[in-house]
Amino acid sequence: MAVRLVAWRGVDPARVEAARVRLAADHLEATGTSATADHVVTYRLRTGPGWTTRSLDVEVAGDGWARGLALTRADGGAWSAAWTGDGVDGLSLPGGGALDGALDVDLAHCPLTNTMPILRHGLLDADPGGAPVDLVMAWVALPELTVHASPQRYAPSDRVHLPGGGALVRFASEGFATTIEVDGDGLAVTYPGLAYRLAGID
């Protein structure tokens, strides 16, 4: 299992993020942090085979407050969540089957959580301009730690392949669209509007 250390400079809000990622042939584990002027986020992500989310544990702390979320996906596809700390009374998962079919968690502002769908759907090796993939994500807002169903679309770019095994992947979700550059492990290098890899870390 390969171990990667990656770091990004984030925008809107301004922040510094870093993650230690353990990559296997069909799954990954990661621990990471993100620091803004108002709060610090720490998380641990685990996936099962096919890069399908098993669990995400998140803690957010600011001046005089802290809250946490333990989000889990069972093998059968059911999601469950438990919140702790300040300002979490009344939080619950979206109802009405909103998360039915969701395989991935998407942590707000975190470029790492785009890696799983990119790897699962073979977007590193896809044909340029190939068919898009439409997905639903369990999207976790920060710093609130609310969970929402997020429709997202991934597609190979017209110029998909990059030297070193990387790729360009088109991404769109609820009025936002960009083209993400990822390296040969599917980890974001440039994510316009969200984050940019810091050089000299890995």
- pLDDT exceeds 90 at position 201: no
Provide the 8-state DSSP code for 153: E
Region 5-17 average pLDDT: 96
Residues 83-127: tens digit of each pLDDT: 999 999 999 999 999 999 999 999 999 999 999 999 999 999 888
Number of domains in the chain: 1
pLDDT digits (tens, 9 = 90+) for 30-74: 999 999 999 999 999 999 999 999 999 999 999 999 999 999 999
Residue 163 has pLDDT above 90, yes or no: no
State residue 202's pLDDT score.
66
pLDDT of residue 160: 79
Is the pLDDT at 171 greater than 80, yes or no?
A: yes
As a whole number, mean pLDDT of residues 137-144 equals 98
Q: Quick one: average pLDDT of 178-191? A: 96
DSSP code per residue over 62-77: ETTEEEEEEEEE-TTS
Strands 52-62, 147-161: parallel, antiparallel or unpaired by DSSP? unpaired
CB 151 within 8 A of CB 139: no
pLDDT value for 36: 97
Smallest Cα–Cα separation from 25: which of 47, 1, 42? 1
Cα separation, 68 vs 177, in Å, equals 29
Judge whether 187 lies within some domain. yes
Ramachandran sector of residue 107 (left: φ over 0; alpha: ψ -120 to 50; beta: rest): beta
> Does any domain span residue 202?
no
Would you say residue 32 lies in a domain? yes
- Measured between alpha carbons, how far is 62 from 43 in angstroms, rounded to an integer? 15
Q: Is 169 within the bounds of a domain?
A: yes
Q: What is the mean pLDDT of residues 131-146?
A: 97
Cβ-proximal residues to 140 (8 Å cutoff; 6+ apart), any chain: 56, 58, 69, 71, 105, 106, 107, 108, 146, 147
Specify whether the CB–CB gap between 43 and 52 falls below 8 A. Answer: no
Distance CA 40, CA 118 (A): 27
Strand pairing report for 188-191 and 195-197: antiparallel
Is residue 200 assigned to a domain? Answer: no
Chain segment 87-98, per-residue pLDDT in tens: 999 999 999 999
The answer as to whether 184 is a domain residue is yes
Alpha-carbon 195 to chain mean position: 12
Strands 133-140 and 147-161 turn out to be: antiparallel
- Tell me whether residue 79 is in a domain: yes
pLDDT for 128 beyond 90: no
| pLDDT in the model for residue 199 | 84
Q: What is the residue range of 144's domain?
A: 2-195
Q: Is residue 100 part of a domain?
A: yes
pTM as predicted: 0.95
